[in-house]
Amino acid sequence: MDVLLAFTRPSLDWHALAPELTLLAFGTLITIVDIIWDERSKQAMPTLAGMGLLATLVPILTLAVDGTERSMFGGAYVVDDFSLVLKALFLISGYVVVLMSVDYIRDGDYYENEYYTLMLTSLLGMVMMSSSRDLISVFVALELLSIPAYMLAAWRKGGPRSNEAGLKYYLMGVFASAVMLYGMSLVYGLAGATSFDAIAQELGSGPSNPVAVLGILFVLIGFAFKVSAVPFHTWAPDTYEGAPTPVTAFLAVASKTAGMVALIQLVFVAFLGREDVIQPFFWVISALTMTVGNLIALRQTNIVRLLAYSGIAQGGFMLVPFAVAADAPARAIEAVVIYLAIYAFMNLGAFTVVLAVARKTRSGEIDSYGGLFRYAPGLAVAMTVFLAALAGIPPAGGWFAKFGLFRALLDAGGGWAAGLAVVVAVNTVIAFAYYARVLTQMWFQPVADGDDRPIVVTGALGAALTVTLLATMAFGVLPGLVGHFGEVSVLSALGG
Amino acid sequence: MLLNQFLILGAVLFAIGVYGVLARRNGVMVLMSIELMLNAVNINLVAFGVQHGVVSGQVFAVFVIAVAAAEVGVGLAIVLLLYRNRRSINVEDFDLMRG
Amino acid sequence: MWMLENAFIIPLIPAISFVVILLFGKRFIGPDRVHVVGITALGLVWVLSALAAFQWTQRVEHPPPDAVVQMASHADDHADDHADDHADDHADDHADDHVVVSENNSGDAHGGGHSSPLIRPVISTFSQWWSNGGIEFSVGTLVDGLTVLLLIVVASISLLVHIYSTEYVKDDRRYVHYYAFLSLFTAAMLFFVMAQNIVQLIVGWELVGVCSFVLIGHWWEEKPNTDAALKAFLTNRVGDIGLLVGIIVLWGTFQTFDIDAINTLIAADPGAHHLALLVAACCLMAAVASKSGQFPLHTWLPDAMAGPTPVSALIHAATMVVAGVYMIARLYPVFYEGLSVGTSSINLMAFIGGFTALIGAALAFAQWDIKKVLAYSTVSQLGYMVMALGVGAWTAAIFHLFTHAFFKACLFLGAGSVSHAAHHTFDMRKMGGLKKDMPHTYRTFVISSLALAGIFPFAGFWSKDEILLGSLVGQKNSYPLMLIFGCVVAVMTAAYMTRVIWYTFHGEFRGEGHPHESPKMMTTPLWILAGMAVIAGVFNLPGPVLEPFGLEGLAHRIQTYVEPSVYLSGLGLSHPDPSLTMALVGLALAVSGIVVTYLYYWRRVGLHGMTERNRYAKNGYTFLENKYYLDHLYNDVIVETVKRPIANWANRVNQNVLDRVVDRAGETARDTGRWIYKWIDQGAIDGSVNAAARGADSSGEGLRAIQSGKIQNYGQLLFGSAAVLAIVFVIVV
Amino acid sequence: MEATGFDTWVLSLAVFLPLVGALVIMMIPKAYEAELKLVALGSSLVALIVGVYSAFQFDYGAAGDLQFVVDKGWIDVINSRYIVGLDGLSLPLLLLSLVVVPLCLIYSWNHVPEPGNTKAFFILLLILSTGMNGTFVAQDMILFFVFFEVVLLPMYFLIGVWGGEERRYASLKFFLYTLFGSALMIISFLALFFLSKDSSGELLHTFDMRVLSDVAGVGIIKNTQVWIFAGLFMGFGIKVPMFPFHTWLPDAHTQAPTVGSVILAAVLLKLGTYGFVRIAIPFLPEGAVSWAPWIGLLAVIGIIYGALACLAQTDMKRLIAFSSVAHMGFVMLGIATLTDFGINAAVFGMVAHGLITGMLFFLAGSVKERFHTLEISRLGGLLKSVPRMGWILGFATMASLGLPGLAGFWGEFPAILSAYNPGAGLPEETFRTYMVIAAVGTVLAAGYLLWLYQRTAFGEPPEEFAGHEIEDVNRLEWIAWTPFLVGIVLFGIWPNLIFNVTDDVVSGITASVEAIVAGG
């Protein structure tokens, strides 16, 4: 029992925790402001939230400049380049989402202040996730980012679809996390410790052990759910369609990224030794996810739902490198991180356009995009760029993400990898088929219901659009920008 | 100590929970079943922790309990919301969106 | 020798006049005056060609030291000034070849029966034309006796035709284009005859083909004309496969396109590459057959008569159609060795030639269209030339080419003049009795006919006599079959020409209107050509004829000047001594032909109406009239494959086994394209592509079933697949 | 050799000036149509001038080595660099694409096809031009890939927005086909990146095409080479297009607007063949040797098959499209022989086909504009109704059927000739058979082209057009067409203009291939 009593207060590295604390501070600040001047504060909220996110970037920059790797709580919580890159990514995408939300939330009947509080909280969870190197902290981070997301998904109080979206997301979410926890308990049982390094040592090698396999699988499945990998994707389309569009964007980008981050940690640090489980698992999952996502997307008529399935397929692409995690770890991580970064911008951009168009057409149907190019050429071109990026066509950013996958696969080499590469190739083709349906509507079709008044793009949306558009194109023309982050994150993640 | 019995208990509880989630139509009952699963996990954690003679297992369990509380709170809220809008908590009914 | 080195100027002139006429014809010069440009150009060409001919004779008479091949040193010069024509490694063995050549020469100089030294052709090459694989290929001119002979022929005929046309196609709807393309044709033909390498041969060959295409289709508003034009071009294209492949084989064998080099290499070592040469020669024969209307590719020539008559005279009688003969003569070593002319008593070339001569003559009987008669007569005469080459009588063939050009051109222009008078009809049944109305045309026509028939002392007599002689004596052994062919054809030729003259000029006028003599611009050329038809023979008189006058020196001028002994000597061609008997026999045959026909038509003796009475004769006649159904064969099999009937022949479908077979073949062939397109392309290939797309689409539809919308199904799916994965992995791993 | 001074800028200018023009136009509002037209034409013309300048500066003595080379860092993480360079192989094709674009702009000066919108149309053309020029000068595989792909979207929109009835289907088909090909292509590129070793067996990990063609695939075992080549084959073969991947071509051509078809025929198809010569063969000699017979087979099938398909066509434009399949068959046959003869001929064939078929598509477009149909059966008597156009059509037809003295011949004849003595390690009999088949193809070509000409140009114009006054070739068309016509004649009369330039490069390639084959 003395073991249990021997408790010493861990040393806190405030600089390392600065981002989380800033975020937390702004979250509370918003709440307080809300309590003090509730109604009158509405206008200030998005600004506050945005400031909060930007402010949080400051300590991240200082940490990046400082560059030393910081570890706390016995390695449960680590701040290294990898985590910093992803924290930054979370915050920037969060900021874009806030920009997207401004008008949407203001114009609909929503609880406005809480909305931003919850979003900041969820982002806090994500930021923590990127630093967590321990089953417990991963679990806590996961729940911290999920629970607010459940609520946000149901945020349109009156809307049955939104409620249903929330319910589905919630039930499936907790169910999955229960499964995951069970897996974690087994893993813990075998490793006798919760930190990834320890797990890596215990499970790393040695004869295969059914319990270990079961544990690993369940843990992975928990996160596979988070990144909406087939067959654990079922919640995604419904939730995306039902949830308020900014929230959808948030889920599709930020929370998916969070899931990926966790997976990177688990796969490349904790379970790397068990490639006999990991690689086949992800081979199957990624192939399934890409293909099923793309195929179903072919049949969608609602743009958001189409983007949902496209998002699932994209997730499948991101999972591809995991299939060669052990054979080419460095390239694999690089590929995933790069993909995440580029994906965040191109997908957010696409959603931004959807929002902008929906403000006029009040419809999510693809047909409502007819002749967009005639009356809103700017938006049409922007959408074209984003879809091209998603399809992976140079010079829009996406090609480099896809390129990363191929690179990882071929670096690993071997028949399986090559096979998966071909699957990816085929899927890029299928994918374009449905992106093209949107393009076709925008460019080739007459204006829907003859109403060709131009679309007014609000300042916030305009800003979001600019950011995403610039980033997408920049990543396409000078992939070095994003490639660099991929590189640095590899070194730290693999502790090299 | 008798690790296996605890594990079996946990497994059984987990299985029951899963069954409940997948079979019960009543939203609240589904939530309960999930709690069941989480507690199965707790049992495992504690058992393993003791077996290894380290505290982390129990710490983990505490975290789980705390989080579970929060989750259920949110869950009930959502179910309530649905009940208000749809006059039903039968999870079968909620399929506006499909395909 | 300036003209010989700068011969390229000669084709350049008409080329320029083509451009000038085409660009400025309508606007600046004026449609009514374009012929001035053409005629001036041709006049210039004629003078220059004459100059070239003269300078060549000078070269032969007083060969400059570097022109004679005797000692090895020239081999080196030669090697040098050809180093740029073919890969340098060739230059060396090339040099050695020359040593051999000169030896050969001294060897059989006496056996060969000619003591004239071996005069090298004048070869001048210009800047690198194209280059490939590090080898640079030059364009240039090769001028020797053969070239200058052709230059003279082309220039003269073309000039006369230009003059003639000013009246004949007066106020034609496309006067300008007409003259433009006459010029272009002349340019192409001249370029062709002075080609220095076989690639140039192809170029000229195709260009003249195109000109003939354009001029046959000159009146393209009427479908039959364009059909004829297409038929001509496509038939030639078929032959061109042979040309292409043959030339490629030659390249593959000798690694050079240079005609001089190829000939020298073969002459130097006749035995070598026999197989390659055989292939090459056979392929080239196909080309010859198509261009020079040899059996079985001759059918386009009669249809080509759809073009304006002067064109027929120029292109389809005198010049273009002899391109094939010219090519054989030019690359004679290839054919000689390839088809082993020297060693066998029968060979492909001789047979094709003889057979063509025969059927051509036979078909000429069945025609009512005067131009078609002449066309088939041309086919037959070309066959004669090819046969002559086939039996190794090189000089005789070229001699006949020379004489034939004049009298056949004259005959065509005469026919044109007739139709000009008789309301543009060529149907002999609508003529008759024109003798008195158009004396000039009549006289010139008769003269040329006599020449064609081979009556002493007209030109045809001498050349034909030499051919018969050639096939009698032949190379190493005689060609009896060819001799028989030759004699039969001699009779028939005389006969059908007499028939033409009867129907056209004698008896009663059967057309309507008042026929009148053609104007000077047309008769003058006729007389000039008729004159040539009389005297052209003197250019290669055998010695004995001249002895009485003590002019032996003038004997065998063509043989002396034209024969490229530098190439042929290596082959050991012999020149049979003239035989009086042969001459008399030939003459007798011709006369007999005339007499029989004369009796048949003028004196009404003989088997009149036999074709009506006698079934066999009737069938035979139909058979002839249908041109052996060869047209059906081509139209159905070949042209139908090319999708559209080129000749409107529906009215000539006979209940005939061959025909029915052919019909089927035709049907099948015509639909091949459509079938492949419909089933293979759109069906199989494109279909599979679209099917893949549809498959993806529908599978997407199917998969949507997963997305039932029911939470618990989702849950089941989630946990179910989790369980499955778990089990699988636990078992597998 | 690394370029210096202004020369460092030449290629980048030639490539990116059109893009700059496009960006400028985006800024100009639609209302100022005249201005944006001028900007478009101006930028493309300046690019052309730069190209011509480079052609004059070009050291033809050293046509074998790259010139105006620029080698700057680009994507360091994957060790891919911005390397551009010009050698005898790129030069003619670069000039071709530089010339074609301004002419297309001029041609569509006053009549942008339905539904109008000159601005967008010109922007797309300019972007297209950047992509094409870039592909021909890129010396880094990734750079090459990017340019190769940049071409897709503009063409997709050109077909999809300004195309005919079936435009949606056609454009998507074009896009998906090419996308699939290039996806496999990039896989092969990466395989090359990871597997290429230098002579000492060191892994190179480079995308630098200069290096890769120097090492010529040593150290990659034959089997792997064959597989990698397969990927490249798909990538380039679809673009060419080779039988049986050709089905996108007729649809794309038929549906595309006139200038779209022109550019497609004149330049886009060449990207594929260029890829074979520039990348596939020199990088993977052994793979090439084992693939060559099959490529040759597909090529000759393409020749005959394309011709037969032409005979089945009732639509003038579609017929021309299928004739492209046949003509590119000759090009591929030349490449398949792996001899300098064949490959030189192939490069010549690319240029010739670009000029000739481009010209034919221009004509088809103008005919469509005047008669509102391309149904061969409904046309006729062009020589009478629009004499000049009729004559030009005749000229183009003759050129297209490979008439000696015009450009077409020099693409066909040496290609066929080269099949007589195929390169080292290739089955002679097989290729000689190909040779004969190809020769037969020339006849079929004459067949369908003359048939087309007879049906459209000869005879009397049909009644339906009898009454109308139909405009003959107008000034803009003259401006746009003359360069094509001149080029066809010029290269036909003096082919050395191209052969001389390409020969060194090609000889280099084939030499290395032979060396490898002899060594292995």
When pLDDT is averaged across residues C640-665 and rounded to a whole number, the result is: 34
Contact criterion met (CB < 8 Å) for B97 and C711: no
When pLDDT is averaged across residues C124-151 and rounded to a whole number, the result is: 86
Q: Chains contacting A with at least 3 CB pairs below 8 Å?
A: B, C, D
Tokens of B6: 């605890």
> C304 and C214: one domain?
yes
Q: Of C573, C589, C605, which residue sits at a domain end?
A: C589
Q: Is residue B23 part of a domain?
A: yes
Of residues C458 and A175, the one with the higher pLDDT is A175
> C36 and C46: one domain?
yes
Q: Is residue C351 part of a domain?
A: yes
For chain C, list residues whose CB is within 8 angstroms of any CB belonging to chain B. Answer: 704, 707-712, 715-716, 719
Contact criterion met (CB < 8 Å) for D75 and A483: yes
Instruction: Please name the residue of chain A whose CA is at the shortest distance from the CA of residue B3.
Output: A189
C-alpha D318/C-alpha C681 separation (Å) is 13
pLDDT at C497: 86
* B20 contact C CB<8A: no
Q: Is residue C209 part of a domain?
A: yes
Domain count for chain C, please give it.
2
Q: In DSSP terms, which residues pair with D80 in a beta bridge?
A: D75
Q: Using one digit for the tens of pLDDT, what is the confidence trace for C453-467?
A: 888 888 888 888 888
Among A9-13, C200-204, C361-365, C630-634, the minimum mean pLDDT is found in C630-634
Contact criterion met (CB < 8 Å) for C710 and B95: yes
When pLDDT is averaged across residues A259-286 and rounded to a whole number, the result is: 90
> C176 and C203: one domain?
no
- The CATH number for B60's domain is 1.10.287.3510
Q: Using one digit for the tens of pLDDT, what is the confidence trace for C505-523?
A: 887 777 777 777 888 888 8
Q: Using one digit for the tens of pLDDT, what is the confidence trace for D184-223?
A: 999 999 999 999 888 888 888 899 999 998 888 888 888 9
Of residues C622 and A108, the one with the higher pLDDT is A108
**Mean pLDDT (chain C, rounded):** 77
pLDDT at C622: 66
Q: What percent of chain D stands above pLDDT 70? A: 99
Q: Confidence class of residue C603 from pLDDT cuts 50, 70 and 90?
A: low
**Mean pLDDT (chain A, rounded):** 89
Q: Using one digit for the tens of pLDDT, what is the confidence trace for C23-51?
A: 887 777 777 788 888 888 989 999 999 99
With b meaning 16 or more CB within 10 Å and e meaning fewer, what string describes B42-66?
bbbbbbbbeebebbbbeebbebbee
Q: Is the pLDDT score of C89 beyond 80?
A: no
Q: Which domain holds residue B78?
A: 3-91
pLDDT at C646: 30
C-alpha C226/C-alpha C306 separation (Å) is 9
Contact criterion met (CB < 8 Å) for C685 and D340: no
Q: Is the pLDDT score of C241 beyond 60?
A: yes
Q: Confidence class of residue C611 from pLDDT cuts 50, 70 and 90?
A: low
C-alpha D282/C-alpha D64 separation (Å) is 14
Tokens of C318: 């005198």
Q: Is C220 helix (H, G, I), strand (E, B) or coil?
A: coil
Taking contacts as CB-CB distances below 8 angstroms, the residues of chain A near D179 are 391, 393, 428-429, 432
> C147 and C271: one domain?
no
Q: Is the pLDDT score of A304 beyond 60?
A: yes
pLDDT at C111: 35
Contact criterion met (CB < 8 Å) for D146 and A418: no
Q: Using one digit for the tens of pLDDT, what is the confidence trace for C612-637?
A: 556 666 666 666 666 555 555 544 54
Instruction: Please name the residue of chain A whose CA is at the shortest distance from the CA of residue D115.
Output: A444
> C334 and C468: one domain?
yes
Domain count for chain B, please give it.
1
Q: Is residue B97 part of a domain?
A: no
* C131 contact D CB<8A: yes
Q: Is the pLDDT score of C711 beyond 90?
A: no
Q: In DSSP terms, which residues pair with D69 in a beta bridge?
A: D2
Of residues C321 and C560, the one with the higher pLDDT is C321
Of residues A383 and A206, the one with the higher pLDDT is A383
C-alpha D138/C-alpha D126 separation (Å) is 18
**Mean pLDDT (chain D, rounded):** 90
Give the closest-approach CA distance of C678 to chain D in angstroms: 8
pLDDT at A496: 44
Q: Which domain holds residue C554?
A: 197-589
Instruction: Please name the residue of chain D whose CA is at the shortest distance from the CA of residue C133.
Output: D340
| Residues 296-325, chain D, touching C (beta carbon < 8 A) | 305, 308-313
Taking contacts as CB-CB distances below 8 angstroms, the residues of chain B near C719 are 18, 22
| Residues 437-476, chain A, touching D (beta carbon < 8 A) | 439-440, 443-444
Within 10 angstroms of residue C644's Cβ, the number of other Cβ atoms is: 15
When pLDDT is averaged across residues C337-350 and rounded to a whole number, the result is: 79
pLDDT at A493: 66
Q: Is residue D21 part of a domain?
A: no
Q: Is residue C147 part of a domain?
A: yes
Q: Confidence class of residue C662 from pLDDT cuts 50, 70 and 90?
A: very low
Q: Of C164, C179, C196, which residue sits at a domain end?
A: C196
D91 half-sphere exposure, CB direction, 13 A CA radius: 30
Q: Is the pLDDT score of C660 beyond 80?
A: no
C-alpha C162/C-alpha D519 separation (Å) is 64
Q: Using one digit for the tens of pLDDT, what is the confidence trace for A402-425?
A: 999 999 999 888 889 989 999 999
> C336 and C398: one domain?
yes
pLDDT at A220: 93
C-alpha A56/C-alpha A29 separation (Å) is 14
Reported ipTM: the value is: 0.85
- Least Cα distance to A418 among A294, A326, A283 occurs for A283
* A104 contact D CB<8A: no
Q: Using one digit for the tens of pLDDT, what is the confidence trace for D31-46?
A: 888 999 999 999 999 9
Q: Which of C707, C715, C730 sits opposite A172 (nearest CB)?
A: C715
Domain count for chain D, please give it.
1
**CA distances to A268, C509, C598, C610 from C603, in Å:** 116, 18, 7, 16
Q: Which domain holds residue D370?
A: 286-520
Q: Is residue C68 part of a domain?
A: no
Q: Using one digit for the tens of pLDDT, what is the confidence trace for A328-338?
A: 888 899 999 99
Q: Is residue C683 part of a domain?
A: no
* A214 contact B CB<8A: no
Contact criterion met (CB < 8 Å) for B99 and C707: yes
Taking contacts as CB-CB distances below 8 angstroms, the residues of chain D near A478 are 74-75
> C363 and C420: one domain?
yes
Q: Which of C701, C711, C722 sits opposite A221 (nearest CB)?
A: C722
> C340 and C365: one domain?
yes
pLDDT at D361: 94
* B18 contact C CB<8A: yes
* A193 contact B CB<8A: yes
Q: Confidence class of residue C77 from pLDDT cuts 50, 70 and 90?
A: very low
When pLDDT is averaged across residues C198-217 and rounded to a whole number, the result is: 89
Q: Is residue B99 part of a domain?
A: no
Q: Is residue B20 part of a domain?
A: yes
Q: Is the pLDDT score of C644 beyond 60?
A: no
When pLDDT is averaged across residues C326-338 and rounded to a whole number, the result is: 88
**CA distances to C344, C404, C553 from C537, in Å:** 30, 10, 16
In chain A, where the domains are located: 277-496
Q: Is residue B81 part of a domain?
A: yes
- Least Cα distance to A384 among A317, A464, A439, A308 occurs for A439
Q: Is residue D515 part of a domain?
A: yes
pLDDT at C657: 32
pLDDT at C92: 40
Q: Is the pLDDT score of C259 beyond 80?
A: yes
Contact criterion met (CB < 8 Å) for D458 and C221: yes
- Are chains B and C in touch, 3+ Cβ pairs below 8 Å? yes
- pLDDT one digit per residue (tens) for chain D, 520 residues: 566 778 888 999 999 999 999 999 999 988 888 999 999 999 999 999 999 999 998 998 888 889 999 999 888 888 899 999 999 999 999 999 999 999 999 999 888 887 888 999 999 999 999 999 999 999 999 999 999 999 999 999 999 999 888 888 899 999 988 999 999 999 999 999 999 888 888 888 899 999 998 888 888 888 999 999 999 999 999 998 888 888 899 999 999 999 999 999 999 999 999 999 999 999 999 999 999 999 999 999 999 888 888 888 888 999 999 999 999 999 999 999 999 989 999 999 999 999 999 999 999 999 988 888 888 888 888 888 888 899 999 999 999 998 888 999 999 999 999 999 898 888 989 999 999 999 988 888 888 898 889 888 888 888 877 777 788 888 999 999 999 999 999 999 899 899 989 999 999 999 888 888 887 5
Q: Using one digit for the tens of pLDDT, what is the confidence trace for A24-34?
A: 999 999 888 88
pLDDT at C608: 53
> C187 and C229: one domain?
no
C-alpha A332/C-alpha A490 separation (Å) is 9
Tokens of A71: 């570890």
Quick check: C465 and C586 in contact, CB under 8 A?
yes
pLDDT at C98: 38
User: Do you find a cis peptide bond into D495, omega within 30 degrees of 0?
Assistant: no
Q: Which amino acid is at C368?
A: W
Q: Is C490 helix (H, G, I), strand (E, B) or coil?
A: helix
Q: What percent of chain A stands above pLDDT 90? A: 56
Q: Is the pLDDT score of C76 beyond 60?
A: no
